[in-house]
Amino acid sequence: MSLPRLTETEIQRLLSTVPHWSRKGEEISRIFEFSNFKEAIAFVNRVATMAEEANHHPDIAIRWNQVSLMLTTKSQKRLTQSDFDLASRIDKLP
């Protein structure tokens, strides 16, 4: 299923709604930091559950207490509304 192509203006507006995320090309990313590895993994598990429900999966990198999430719509090879929707939902995780 093809999603509507976002204009550069739309991407910039959507980026402003997820201010802790940064853009690099056709991807947005954010690094989350926790006090220890166990908390980082618990966060990853919450993200995984959310991603499965949304059928939209981030790339995830774990480094002890840091979790890096990268979002793009792989099937479209570009950013879509789905990326920003999931980023916003992730930002609301406890």
Domain 26-91, architecture per CATH:
2-Layer Sandwich (3.30)
Q: What is the mean pLDDT of residues 63-90?
A: 96
Contacts 24+ apart (CB under 8 A), 72-77: 72/26, 72/27, 72/28, 73/3, 75/1, 76/2, 76/3, 77/26
pLDDT at 5: 87
CA–CA separation, 86 vs 51, rounded Å? 8
Tell me the pLDDT tens digit for each residue of 43-68.
999 999 999 999 999 999 999 999 99
Residue 77: is its pLDDT beyond 80?
A: yes
pLDDT for 4: 83
Token pair belonging to 83: 């990326």
pTM > 0.85: yes or no: yes
The pLDDT, as a whole number, for residue 1 is 63
